[in-house]
Amino acid sequence: MEWKLLATTFGLVFLAELGDKTQLATLSLAASSRSRLAVFVGSAAALVLASALAVVVGDALARAVPPVWIRRAAGLSFLILGALFLLARD
């Protein structure tokens, strides 16, 4: 197993999930339910399934498109979304 890759993936996903809408929804469900274990298992299973789907799709995409182009497209997407969020005024 690639321990450095494992630690990097864990750190990035953990930081990305802190304070996002999924965590806030889980927090709300846990606060309003009697079975916190059910909320934990349900949210953990959902994150595992979403991550598995991302790995499978990422692997298939990497077979068709060179990874450098995937990284470039992801970076460009983040830049465009960031600019749109900065320019959007409500």
Q: How far apart are CA 53 and CA 47, in angstroms?
A: 10
Question: Does residue 83 register a pLDDT over 80?
Answer: yes
Distance separating alpha carbons of residues 27 and 43, to the nearest angstrom = 10
> Is 38 a residue whose pLDDT tops 70?
yes
Count the neighbouring beta carbons within 10 Å of the beta carbon of residue 33. 11
Tell me how far apart the alpha carbons of residues 63 and 52 are, in angstroms, rounded to a whole number. 17
Is 70 exceeded by the pLDDT of residue 90? Answer: no
**Single pTM value for the model:** 0.71
